[in-house]
Structure 1
Amino acid sequence: MVHLVEPRLSGLARNPAAPTGTLVRLAAHTAGRAGLRRRKGPLPDPVADAMLTHGGRDAATLLRPNRISPAVRRRIAEHPDPAIRDAHADFVRTMVARGVPLGLDALVDAYGLPPEELAAHGDPKVRAVLAQDWHDRPPAVHEMLLTDPDPDVRAAAARAQHLGIPSALTERCLADPAVRTHIVHRLPLTQEQFERLLATGDPSVLASVAAHPALTPAMVARLEDSEDPSVRVAVAYSRHVTPDTRDRLLALVEAESAAGGIDAEVALHWSSYRPAWLRDAPLAERLSYLDCPHPAFRKVLATSPGLPEEAWRRLDEDPVVSVRFAAARRHDVPAEVLLRLVREHGDPATGLPGLVAHPRFPRHELRGLAEEPDPRVRFLALEDPLLPAAVLRRLGGAEETFLRAGVARHPNIEVPLLERLLSDPDPEVVEEAAANPALPEAWMDRVPAEAGL
């Protein structure tokens, strides 16, 4: 979070080249402490001590144990002020009461108990957070949490998908309203179990059942008349429905979405439903979906292996950009396909590595992107670590804040431009400039001095 009042101080506190003495000075200011909390890596002892001196309980709360030395941890544990001694543990306990996981180490440190004892803690909120934080718990502990007397604990345990459900507990879990929604799609589903789950009438259970990857054609047929948009979408994505049924179900959901239906909008565009089975279908079956009118199928098709060249050509020219992006992530995509896609549509953040990071992206073309009219595309030129100074100066004068901030972070920036960006009207740009390791040492002394530190 950028410090809006003193972004120079918070940025300099994040600067990996800032000397320890400078960081100690910055710890005397709230903006400096805000930057130090976001600084990567462990804090030197003098800096941690200065934060405690000037920030008191607030600083102690956010001095995570993995960022400070054992010596500083001992000093906090022996501090005469109980508010400082207990600050971090109190913070963890507050988060636990709100159901916010902070990691197993934080739990063990705050409660002073090993994980096995926390699993039997008297407070169900502790057990529920432990179920979220302890990812490699032993089978016996997992079973204990799945059968905990508190439904929130059982639900938290069931959400750990990688741990599975012991076969001896399957029926018990399917009968448990707190658990069954989270496990249905991960269990083999018999016809009898399917009927019992449908009989619950619980919309969340029906949506989970509809998303089961191994429903039989008969099961799918039983779900076709559901009025729940999530169920309709999941059924439409099944391999067991006819094209006409698929078109009908998706048209109904699309009409609901167009009329302002939030549930329909979520089911269409924000849910996890995907026709994932198509990825591993026989080649002939996969190719039959090249002409599918529903982009979700073409998008999954674009992630499948072994397609013929003509299929890739069509996917690379698909009218839906997300399909083209999916196809462009294949390992042998032509470099010109990547470059054309980036020039036309940028490289949107999706949680996946960007197209400019693809091994086949022509990185020698990066600096040419600085001439493109779309600022999102010009921004990608900054991926070139040797971008010429003249290009950086031009981009540093852009109207868009995100472009100037990107220039302020660039490793090849010249000092005069960096100094200019330290006075930018936008705090984000100023903070990024102050955090750049290229900042001269004289400025690292001048910034705190101008703030009276």
Structure 2
Amino acid sequence: MDHLLLGLAANPALPSALLGRLVDCVIESGPDSVIAEVAVVLAERPDLGPAHAAALTAVYGEKVAVCLAERGRLDTADVDPAVWPLAALALLRHGTAPPAWARVLAAAPDALHRRLLAAEPAVLSAEVVDLLAADPDIDVVAELALEAGPELAARLARHPHAEVRLAVAHNRATPPPVLRALLTGEGLPAARACLVCDQEPVPFSHDPQCGRADCDLPADAACDGTHQSTGHRIRRAALGNPATPGEAAAHFADSPSVLLRWSLAGHPDLPQTAYARLAADPVPGIRMELAGNPGVGSAVLGVLFADTASHEVLRSVAHRADLPPEVVAGLARSPQAGVRRFLAQRRDLPDAVREALAGDPDAGVAARAAAHPGLSEARLRSLLDRFGDQVAAGIAANPDAPAALLEELAGRPHPPRKALRAIAAHPRATARALCACLADGRARRLAAGRPELPVPDLLRLLTDRDWRVVEAAAANPALPAGVMADLVAGAVPAEVAGDGAAPGVG
């Protein structure tokens, strides 16, 4: 793969004449060449003309056709759905394909193509939906169930295969009464099959240490004829579905299954009594899930806030979007530096709390607060004076950090790597700051795409040992047109170049 040409093909400043020469090069090289992937990148360009698009499609086929179809730049007259099913599907999604194409795709020999079609029920006719609902491949029907609207979801909840019912349980468009039935089993006919008994004679219980190379069953797979492991997964999915009626879900607050209680802890519409029982759960992960649940009332939240035994629970409380002001103030005054660090990661704090955390004596708290927008340059410099490199990355990530301060951070004797990476991505980073970022590999990948980078440094990156740096540098709009021309000329076969190819950079 030629990463120089991949980057160049994505370069928004590539002159139209060079774009044409690059297209000619890719076409001449053919679909089996090392630059075949360049064709896909070219197909994504908004300035690719119709003639070039048609020429690329003629050589590279569906790979390019899909890119063009997704951008509304492919004519239905150029597509046979039986030959290019993925391109046809993209046009169906775009709303420009004849409805009859869906019937062709519903009968496609490859189940993957039928499954992709099933994921788009909104663009399908009732006839095609019926075809997919009766598909012999359960994965196709399950995909349809996962994306179905309320009426279709209710219908598929009665499907004889448990895997389809599992998909219905995950679907947030499934009507609440249907989810209740999936949760309790009441009102639905018993499932007649699952993925376990499809493959193994019952009774079967999967060995968690199974070493069979051809086995793709989950570790807990089991079926004695009642499809119990899939039934458990259905209940987990329904408990985690916010459309499931809260009073029905609440009965599982004392379930012996940790996984069911964990799924339930995220349900936003339970009675507060159920949340209170879950707040006393011995599993920290369940309490952590509960702490982030927007349905939890202030009384239960107070219980979780007092849970000093688990930092994970306190972190989840601190990250809640609807955290009451009094709780925010309490967290900011916590004697535990870890709690204050969690809070300092937020970017929506009141000014007074933000300033208090920026002035915190703990370096970890101050470092996290340093990235908070709204801090003045004086405050940022004060943080740097107090804590030095410990807060450098936080300051560098602050969107309000001035260019001069970013230069100072980058120019420190041994700047932290995280600080260099933040500077390389900062919109206010100057050429001087970006040059300092080239010392770190990950920061160099970011800096290579910045137009502010001096041209001599940019040219050196075209021969970097990291291919991601090379691609980013070649895609940099500041790359001189003459260099672009050399890169294209170095790749164009002699019969395409006509007058010979100039040597490319690197």
Q: What TM-score do you get using the length of structure 2 for normalisation?
A: 0.61
Q: How many residues align?
A: 401
Query: What residue is the counterpart of 2:73 in the other structure?
Result: 69
3-state SS of the aligned residue for 1:275? Answer: helix
The farther-off stretch of 413-422 and 360-369 is 360-369
Note closer, same or farther for the CA distance 1:144–1:277 as it changes in structure 2 (3 Å cut): farther
Q: In the aligned structure 2, how far is the partner of 1:232 from the partner of 1:128?
A: 32
Q: Counterpart amino acid of 1:419?
A: L
Structure with higher helix content = 1
Verify the 8 A CA contact 1:295 1:323 in the aligned structure 2. Answer: no
Q: 2:142 aligns with which of 128, 136, 160?
A: 128
Shift of 1:11: 1.4
Shift of 1:412: 2.8
Q: In the aligned structure 2, how far is the partner of 1:102 from the partner of 1:386?
A: 45
Q: 2:486 aligns with which of 423, 446, 453?
A: 446
For residues 393-444 of structure 1, give each alpha carbon's deviation from its aligned partner in whole angstroms, at most 9, with x where no partner exists: x437x34233333332121344433332222232222222211222233333
For residues 298-322 of structure 1, give each alpha carbon's deviation from its aligned partner in whole angstroms, at most 9, with x where no partner exists: 6358759775726750476374848
Q: Counterpart amino acid of 2:74?
A: P
Alignment of 1:87-126 (within 5 A): 88=87, 97=112, 114=124, 119-120=129-130, 121=132, 122-123=134-135, 124-126=138-140
Q: 1:10 aligns with which of 6, 9, 31?
A: 6
Verify the 8 A CA contact 2:8 2:471 in the aligned structure 1. Answer: yes
Note closer, same or farther for the CA distance 1:367–1:184 as it changes in structure 2 (3 Å cut): same
Note closer, same or farther for the CA distance 1:38–1:274 as it changes in structure 2 (3 Å cut): farther
Q: 1:404 aligns with which of 419, 444, 450?
A: 444
Q: 2:317 aligns with which of 270, 275, 280?
A: 275
Verify the 8 A CA contact 1:408 1:433 in the aligned structure 2. Answer: yes
Q: In the aligned structure 1, how far is the partner of 2:337 from the partner of 2:51?
A: 60
Structure 2, unpaired ranges of 5+:
91-104, 186-230, 293-299, 494-506
Query: What residue is the counterpart of 2:93 in the other structure?
Result: none
The farther-off stretch of 274-283 and 408-417 is 274-283
Verify the 8 A CA contact 1:279 1:300 in the aligned structure 2. Answer: no
The farther-off stretch of 204-213 and 62-71 is 62-71
Query: What residue is the counterpart of 2:182 in the other structure?
Result: 173
Q: In the aligned structure 2, how far is the partner of 1:355 from the partner of 1:403?
A: 13
Note closer, same or farther for the CA distance 1:37–1:388 as it changes in structure 2 (3 Å cut): same
**1:429 aligns to 2:469 (yes or no):** yes
Query: What residue is the counterpart of 2:360 in the other structure?
Result: 317
Note closer, same or farther for the CA distance 1:138–1:218 as it changes in structure 2 (3 Å cut): closer
Verify the 8 A CA contact 1:347 1:355 in the aligned structure 2. Answer: yes
> Identity across aligned pairs (percent)?
22
**1:239 aligns to 2:301 (yes or no):** yes
Verify the 8 A CA contact 2:354 2:369 in the aligned structure 1. Answer: no
Alignment of 1:373-384 (within 5 A): 373-383=415-425
The farther-off stretch of 291-300 and 181-190 is 291-300
Verify the 8 A CA contact 2:288 2:316 in the aligned structure 1. Answer: no
Q: In the aligned structure 1, how far is the partner of 2:282 from the partner of 2:176?
A: 33
Query: What residue is the counterpart of 1:25 in the other structure?
Result: 24
Q: Counterpart amino acid of 2:175?
A: P
**1:140 aligns to 2:187 (yes or no):** no
Shift of 1:226: 5.5
Note closer, same or farther for the CA distance 1:213–1:173 as it changes in structure 2 (3 Å cut): same
**1:37 aligns to 2:75 (yes or no):** no
Verify the 8 A CA contact 1:12 1:444 in the aligned structure 2. Answer: yes
Tell me: higher relative CO, structure 1 or 2? Use CA pairs within 8 A at least 6 residues apart.
1
Q: What TM-score do you get using the length of structure 1 for normalisation?
A: 0.67
Verify the 8 A CA contact 1:366 1:380 in the aligned structure 2. Answer: no
Root-mean-square deviation (CA), in Å?
A: 4.8
Shift of 1:21: 0.8
Larger Rg: 2
3-state SS of the aligned residue for 1:22? Answer: helix
Note closer, same or farther for the CA distance 1:189–1:114 as it changes in structure 2 (3 Å cut): closer
3-state SS of the aligned residue for 1:416? Answer: helix
Q: In the aligned structure 1, how far is the partner of 2:11 from the partner of 2:110?
A: 29
3-state SS of the aligned residue for 2:301? Answer: coil
Alignment of 1:268-307 (within 5 A): 268=312, 274-275=316-317, 280=322, 282-289=324-331, 290-291=333-334, 293=336, 295=338, 299=342, 303=346, 307=350
Verify the 8 A CA contact 1:27 1:33 in the aligned structure 2. Answer: yes
Q: In the aligned structure 2, how far is the partner of 1:295 from the partner of 1:49?
A: 59
For residues 39-65 of structure 1, give each alpha carbon's deviation from its aligned partner in whole angstroms, at most 9, with x where no partner exists: 5444433443343444356x3575451
Q: Counterpart amino acid of 2:419?
A: V
Verify the 8 A CA contact 2:357 2:369 in the aligned structure 1. Answer: no
Query: What residue is the counterpart of 1:209 in the other structure?
Result: 264
Verify the 8 A CA contact 1:184 1:209 in the aligned structure 2. Answer: yes
Q: In the aligned structure 1, how far is the partner of 2:319 from the partner of 2:425?
A: 36
Shift of 1:151: 3.9
Note closer, same or farther for the CA distance 1:312–1:437 as it changes in structure 2 (3 Å cut): closer
Note closer, same or farther for the CA distance 1:10–1:281 as it changes in structure 2 (3 Å cut): closer
Q: 1:189 aligns with which of 243, 246, 259?
A: 246
